[in-house]
Structure 1
Amino acid sequence: MAQTLNRRAFLSRSALLGCSLAASPLVTPVSFAAAPGDGRLVVIVLRGGMDGLDALRPYGDPGYAALRKGPFGVDRQAEVADLDGYFALHPALAGLMPLWSAGQLAAVHAVSTPYRDKRSHFDGQDLLEAGTADFSGGRSRDGWLNRLLTLLPGSDVETAYAIGRGSMAILDGQAPVSRWSPDSDLALSPQALTLARLVMQDDPAFAAAMEQAFALADGDGDAIAVEGGMREMMTMMNDDAAAARSAAGEIRMADFAAQRLRGDARIASFSINGWDTHEAQDRSLPRALSRLAETILALQKGLGGPIWKTTAVVAVTEFGRTARINGSGGTDHGTGGMMLLAGGALRGGRVVADWPGLDESALYERRDLMPTRDMRAHLGWLMHGLFGVSRSDLERVVFPGLDMGGDPGLLL
């Protein structure tokens, strides 16, 4: 009797097949690494420079009304987005208010990386992911999350997922990590089918793994047979890939991240694009913020209560944006910005900031929010609390040359 494998069991037990067949480039990969302990850390890179003054509006500062009017002002009737009488979430983030009320949402304002003045997305993202103060070590370097892994005794990695091309530089380095892409187009051409058959024929280990996957299948519903089942298997994968592409990419990344973090993985990082709001920001930024809120809520749902309680999610961006609105109804590349944090491991329900004020004399170069603390210090204290890494190692290895300063108490 032919052994059978249902759709769900096949896709969960034979990710290696996807690695062999994937051909499409990966724009935003998800990277994972397993590590000991119960803490989980998810780092979301917001590529394009999020406007922290719009995402988290300091309406209690008298200077804010002078800088931001019309659609960028705070509607006092939208009290659902008010946080503490001084700061208010953008209405597009209002869906996160239950997390705020539960103490599982926090923000850190007026922070930045050491990057200054040139305001290049490429340079800014390079330094954000490298975690260094400058380019003195060259651009081809490891990322700060990868350096963290080298300090975790007994850390291990997930089985490799190489669906698509590209990587998160934040996890590049000597410590091996697993990679997976939700955006690879698995529509299989006749050439891909031929390749799959050749792999099955010429790689006994691969064929044996596939046989084992079929043998482990429970055989219920929508099953395919091992013997002569190659084309049926490919058709099944095509159908599922088409269905997956109809869902939002960020939600698929969050769902997959949650799945892995419920198992051996302890660290996940992925990126969300769409934060470069030079014009019509009142139309483009709400869309990006809604995607971010949905992604965070998907992580919460996917992780479930016990795992969520050990998790910190942090969203970071390469720089903030100008304090004033430009002539196109947008904002230009700036300096100081905001980090958004979520998770059951947080001591949330608060905005952490050494607020510099928004008077023109208080602005950086009279144009940007003045950063008052290095973003890396907050990241360092998160890793110290989640993984028990010493401050000296964080300042020496993960963020070389950084003085983390006092503990802001971000974690319970």
Structure 2
Amino acid sequence: MAIDRRLFIKAVLAMGGLSLGGSWAWETRAEDSGRLIVIFLRGGLDGLFAFSPVADSQLASLRPTLARTVIERGIPLGSSGFAAHPACAPLAELFQTGELAFAPCAGSIDTSRSHFLAQDIFELGTGRTRGASGFMSRAASELGGAQDSISFTSAVPLAFRGTVMPEVAQFGTSRFNLPSGRFLEAIRQTHAGEPSGAALEQAIATEAAIAAALAEGAMERGADQGAAATSGFARVARNMAKVLRRNPRFSLAFVDIGGIDTHANQETILERALSSLSEGIVALRSELGSAEWQRTQVLVCSEFGRTVRENGTGGTDHGHGGLMLLAGGAVRGGRMLGGFDGLNDTRLNEGRDLPVSLDWRDVLGGALQASFALDEAALDRVFPGRPGRRLES
């Protein structure tokens, strides 16, 4: 009897993706097709914390607390003048093996500093705050049904709304909501001394830090728009990869995560968040396997960056230009994209933020073109009004 694909996906995801390693696979890959996975970080990531311009003499004075670790123990990123925070060590390794490129000053034309407007502008991909369709739906339409799309989110995101809708696969929240008291202690004792115990303690600490930040007003409620926190992303990424590996026709994929809107206590929160993000991207690489990774591009970005100067509460505020990562076996990595003009006030947007020197529509457009051989006219339909800057191949 025929198997309904949508119901089958929901069934295996309900079991945590554990059955996906079996013999089920209903499609074969179209020849010479690539894959694009978009990881959207809701909340405004401080990219300067993750990948820092340590060669710039002003970094230490602008960020006397937040830059200390990366200045002392950062991992150099080639000759770019940047170093990766130790929490991003797996990403630095991908850079060194030529499987990751980064743009420190990427973003959109939006200057509102509003999470919601900036997120809408990104997901619509038109440079506007309203529209009938998102860029991933339009990209799927341009592929004409030759490829399938999937969104690992709680609902269809704005990026995928339109005439071509994706499968929606939710792995569940990364938040534990564990009981307190004796029951929690019993669970901890059961896992003590095991790898699962260390993971449990890290997740509990991360959730506690996020809860404290919310209580103190250090993070804005609602900026995540329902996206799961980063603490569980490595698990989610492994399950995503299992789905994608067994079903190669899912060539467009989207996932969003949150917990990065750090107005205070940023070092504690972001160290854990970036560690989970890095582990998740490496988990994608491992679980996809060599053949699937070689046809994959993973784009990681946030709606905007943060202020260059740290504030008085150990955090940063909403900014403009931010970090974009492009990883994958199909990426020419080991390089910086879009340039960087330094931290001098005269080089900053409004004297406080990194400027936008690279429009993310051009990066997305380049990834779509490389993955699916879309021509310029098709890219203009996916991203109307895009600057059309070509990246070096």
TM-score normalized by structure 2? Answer: 0.75
Residue equivalent to 2:144: 153
Question: 2:264, 2:314 within 8 Å by CA — same for their partners in 1?
Answer: yes
Q: 1:120 aligns with which of 114, 122, 125?
A: 114
Corresponding residue SS for 1:328: coil
Residue equivalent to 2:364: 379
Residue equivalent to 1:407: 391
Counterpart of 2:332 in structure 1: which amino acid? Answer: R
State how far apart, in whole Å, the 1-side matches of 2:153 and 2:35 are.
Answer: 25
Residue equivalent to 1:301: 286
Residue equivalent to 2:123: 129
Q: CA deviation at 1:34?
A: 10
Residue equivalent to 1:65: 60
* Cα separation, partners in 2 of 1:20 and 1:64, compared to 1, 3 Å: closer
Q: 1:255 aligns with which of 233, 238, 241?
A: 238
State how far apart, in whole Å, the 2-side matches of 1:34 and 1:382 are.
Answer: 22
* Cα separation, partners in 2 of 1:315 and 1:35, compared to 1, 3 Å: farther
Q: CA deviation at 1:81?
A: 4.7
Q: 2:172 aligns with which of 180, 183, 186?
A: 183
Residue equivalent to 2:133: 142
State how far apart, in whole Å, the 2-side matches of 1:366 and 1:348 are.
Answer: 31
Counterpart of 2:238 in structure 1: which amino acid? Answer: D
Task: Give the alignment of 1:8-27 within 5 angstroms.
Answer: 14-15=8-9
State how far apart, in whole Å, the 1-side matches of 2:287 and 2:319 are.
Answer: 35
State how far apart, in whole Å, the 1-side matches of 2:48 and 2:282 are.
Answer: 22
State how far apart, in whole Å, the 1-side matches of 2:28 and 2:117 are.
Answer: 29
Residue equivalent to 2:259: 274
Deviations 1:233-272 (CA, angstroms, capped at 9, x unpaired)? xxxxxxxxxxxxx896423331232123222211111011
Residue equivalent to 1:353: 338
Task: Give the alignment of 1:183-202 within 5 angstroms.
Answer: 183=172
* Cα separation, partners in 2 of 1:401 and 1:252, compared to 1, 3 Å: same
Counterpart of 2:100 in structure 1: which amino acid? Answer: L
* Cα separation, partners in 2 of 1:85 and 1:178, compared to 1, 3 Å: closer
State how far apart, in whole Å, the 1-side matches of 2:334 and 2:259 are.
Answer: 27
Corresponding residue SS for 1:66: helix
TM-score normalized by structure 1? Answer: 0.71
Counterpart of 1:124 in structure 2: which amino acid? Answer: A
Q: CA deviation at 1:16?
A: 5.1
Deviations 1:312-358 (CA, angstroms, capped at 9, x unpaired)? 11101000001111111100000011101211111111112321221
Q: 2:42 aligns with which of 47, 57, 60?
A: 47
Q: Which has the higher Rg, Structure 1 or Structure 2?
A: 1
Q: CA deviation at 1:155?
A: 2.2
Once the two structures are overlaid, the 10-residue window that deviates more, 88-97 or 148-157, is: 148-157
Counterpart of 2:279 in structure 1: which amino acid? Answer: E
State how far apart, in whole Å, the 1-side matches of 2:261 and 2:167 are.
Answer: 29
State how far apart, in whole Å, the 2-side matches of 1:322 and 1:16 are.
Answer: 41
Counterpart of 1:260 in structure 2: which amino acid? Answer: V
State how far apart, in whole Å, the 2-side matches of 1:321 and 1:105 are.
Answer: 22
State how far apart, in whole Å, the 2-side matches of 1:326 and 1:304 are.
Answer: 43
Deviations 1:371-399 (CA, angstroms, capped at 9, x unpaired)? 1121111111111111101122212x111
Residue equivalent to 2:188: none
Q: CA deviation at 1:85?
A: 5.5
State how far apart, in whole Å, the 2-side matches of 1:66 and 1:284 are.
Answer: 22
What is the RMSD of the two structures over their aligned residues, measured on CA atoms?
2.9
* Cα separation, partners in 2 of 1:109 and 1:20, compared to 1, 3 Å: closer
Residue equivalent to 2:212: none
State how far apart, in whole Å, the 2-side matches of 1:403 and 1:378 are.
Answer: 11
Q: 2:309 aligns with which of 324, 341, 355?
A: 324
Once the two structures are overlaid, the 10-residue window that deviates more, 83-92 or 282-291, is: 83-92
State how far apart, in whole Å, the 1-side matches of 2:61 and 2:326 are.
Answer: 28
Counterpart of 2:386 in structure 1: which amino acid? Answer: L
Q: 2:51 aligns with which of 45, 50, 56?
A: 56
* Cα separation, partners in 2 of 1:17 and 1:60, compared to 1, 3 Å: closer
Corresponding residue SS for 1:142: coil
Once the two structures are overlaid, the 10-residue window that deviates more, 118-127 or 34-43, is: 34-43
Residue equivalent to 2:94: 99
Corresponding residue SS for 1:370: coil
Q: CA deviation at 1:70?
A: 2.8
Q: CA deviation at 1:64?
A: 2.1
Question: 1:146, 1:172 within 8 Å by CA — same for their partners in 2?
Answer: yes
Residue equivalent to 2:180: none
